[in-house]
Amino acid sequence: MNRFEPNLRIPGPTTLPPSVRDAGSRQMVNHRGPEFATILNRVIARMKPYFGTTGDVAVLSCAGTGGLEAAVVNVLSPGDRVLGVSIGSFGDRFARIATVYGADVTKLSVEWGRAADPEELRAALAAEPAPGYRAVLLTHNETSTGVMNPIPALAAVIREVAPNALIVVDSVSGLGAVPFEMDAWGIDLVVTGSQKAWMSAPGLAMVAASERAWAVMETSTTPRFYLDLRAHREWHAKGQTPWTPAVGVVYQVDEGLALMERETQAGVFARHEACAAATRAGLQALGFELFADPAAASKTVTAAKVPDGLDWKAFNGEVKERGVVLAGGQGKLTGLIFRVGHLGSVTLGEILDAVGVLEEVSIALGRPVEAGAAVAAAQRAALAVSGVLAAATVPA
């Protein structure tokens, strides 16, 4: 870690590994020339295994929200019946985008902190009269609550009860950090963003679509231009993008994927698993109650409740003073929870540092915490996940 830089523990943008930062400062090339084509083709090829698809992936120059909007405008038509499954503020946003474009959206709102229940979803799908929903919107990793939805189980229910519904997944903060098998699970559209697991600056949204989704795009009637996925597919076949892309971010994602290839996909997933376990154990040892249902705890962001009586502003100010940047709560959770991001370029060392700082500040502010206990709990939890320490030796 660089002691002159903050330990940015927010759930994206993540810090940039040095080689990714350097990649972003490289000189421009002709985005319609062979050098750029080589890079774009490599980015798409290396990203497909993380989507779990052999199909086409579109690289859009926009924020993750632009990727969600692309999903909506490409496959939905005004008046389409849509089920928006929301487990937090990003699920609400996805449903809102569909509503703004004229879809007839019914929301299945789940209590924040919980994952969607496949049986509740089954009932919601079954309650819809024929011909059923045109699409179901799902959030893979709900960044606002630190909850990861069981996408394979939810998709299986949709495929069974509503086989004609498109399954559209926001995996902006999940993909690249945890296993995802778009083709095997029968998912139609998946969206991710460069500033999350891909360890790059914000600026690109990647959208993968199934053959069924590509076919629907030919008949859907929502107007679209900049976000037209068909235009992206057409130009990608020539190693180009339809409009001038965020070239510097494409360089960065290319380098991020090279680092991920060196680490191996299994290694990337194991690191996220270990960092998540360490964060949860460290926070609990500090006396913080975790917000998410433990069975659905996210591998990329952990949310904890602000305890009664804790002056969060003062606490967070001290934490920031020591170089650790946490994220607060969003929307209705503002002031009630705080979040620790652990995705992208995160290392166990950075998590132990963050837990150590939280420990120091807790002790300084008179919270009943034993020096070293939380760091030890975090370390043990991570080592148990990695198999270095036998799970049996880890205190509950």
Shorter beta-carbon distance to ligand PLP: residue 193 or 239? 193
Residue 64 makes contact with ligand PLP by CB under 6 A = yes
Residue 69 makes contact with ligand PLP by CB under 6 A = no
Q: How many CA atoms lie within 13 A of 120 on its CB side?
A: 15
Tell which positions 12-31 bind ligand PLP, by CB under 6 A.
12
Contact predicate 282/374, CB 8 Å: yes
Q: How far is the CB of 79 from ligand PLP (least distance, A)?
A: 25
Residue 86 makes contact with ligand PLP by CB under 6 A = no
Q: How far is the CB of 94 from ligand PLP (least distance, A)?
A: 7
Residue 202 makes contact with ligand PLP by CB under 6 A = yes
CA distance 91 to 81: 17
Residue 176 makes contact with ligand PLP by CB under 6 A = no
Residue 340 makes contact with ligand PLP by CB under 6 A = no
Q: How many CA atoms lie within 13 A of 161 on its CB side?
A: 23
Among 7, 173, 210, 302, binds ligand PLP (CB under 6 A): 173
350-353: long-range contacts, CB 8 A cutoff, minimum separation 24: 350/1, 350/7, 350/9, 350/275, 351/275, 351/278, 351/279, 351/282, 351/378, 351/382, 352/278, 352/282, 352/378, 352/379, 353/1, 353/7, 353/324
β-pair partners for 85:
108
Question: Which of the ranges 15-23, 138-146, 207-215, 219-227 carries the binding residues for ligand PLP, by CB under 6 A?
Answer: 138-146
Burial label, 342 (beta-carbon count in 10 A; 0-12, 13-18, 19+): buried
Q: How far is the CB of 151 from ligand PLP (least distance, A)?
A: 13
Q: How far is the CB of 205 from ligand PLP (least distance, A)?
A: 7
Q: Binding residues for ligand PLP, per CB under 6 A?
A: 12, 63-65, 90, 139, 141, 143, 170, 172-173, 193, 202
